[in-house]
Amino acid sequence: MISDILTGKSTSHLVPLEGTKFFIHSEMKKDFLALQNLARQDGFDLQVISAFRDYDRQLKIWNAKANGERALLDNFGSPLVYQTLTHNEVMFSILRWSALPGASRHHWGTDIDIFNAHTQSADEVELTPSETEIGGPAFELHEWLDEKIRTNNSFAFYRPYSTDTGGVSPERWHLSYSPVSKKLFAEYSYDLFQKNIQNSELVLKENILEHLPLIFEKYIQSVDSSPF
């Protein structure tokens, strides 16, 4: 069912990415391997640090943050003190950096987080803005990607979180496979989102339901446009 793919409760659409522990959407694999090869020709070792995540994994991440068991960050990536925050402040600080379970684009298998293995090992990757800025280990890779995205009309990948709209923090490392993700994005409705939250075992569930329309608009629908 499409709803199970959208909410991270199905793996039927996935294939393994050989040589890694990751799974990606079956329709994306050919173009991703071509992207890796293109990067390699220009001196980059483009590798995946995160790909498909299922609902249960996302739920554990969310609940751990909501219970103060994992770090919380402010809008600029600086640590917050959990004990000083209201429930709403905790909720919105999580949403800035982590998706709700059932509402993550990583469920789709079309979205990946990447790094340059020539300049960082996987253990060193933190997925922070500084890694992609001038002087950072992934800066040159992302400058190269910017050029490909900007100049190649048939380029299949884009960044859904390239600009700060006040919702999800910009994530230069996050790539999406447009030919499939744009279709899934169009299928992800408010009704599906609402039902998913209502049936969940989320910490801060009541706070989420109280702000559901805002969350849907600001943290799910407010993404940069696909080039396709």
Q: What is the H or E stretch that residue 157 is in? A: strand 157-158
Q: Is the pTM of this model over 0.85?
A: yes
Q: Domain containing 65: what range?
A: 2-221
Task: Specify if 178 maps to a domain.
Answer: yes
Task: Specify if 201 maps to a domain.
Answer: yes
Task: Specify if 226 maps to a domain.
Answer: no
Q: What gap in Å lies between CA 203 and CA 46, rounded to an integer?
A: 36
pLDDT tens profile 54-102: 999 999 999 999 999 999 999 888 999 999 999 999 999 999 999 999 9
End-to-end CA distance of the chain: 25
Task: Specify if 43 maps to a domain.
Answer: yes
Task: Specify if 18 maps to a domain.
Answer: yes
Residue with tokens 């890796």: 36
pLDDT interval class at 32 (50, 70, 90)? very high
Percentage of residues of the chain with pLDDT beyond 70: 99
135 φψ region: left (φ > 0), alpha (ψ -120 to 50), beta (else): left
Domain harbouring 196, CATH code? 3.30.1380.10
pLDDT interval class at 227 (50, 70, 90)? low
**Which two three-digit tokens encode residue 222?**
């407010």
pLDDT tens profile 168-211: 999 999 999 999 999 999 999 999 999 999 999 999 999 999 99
Task: Specify if 228 maps to a domain.
Answer: no
Q: Work out whether the CA dihedral 66, 77, 25, 215 comes out positive or negative.
A: positive
**Which two three-digit tokens encode residue 209?**
């339901």
Structural domain count of the chain:
1
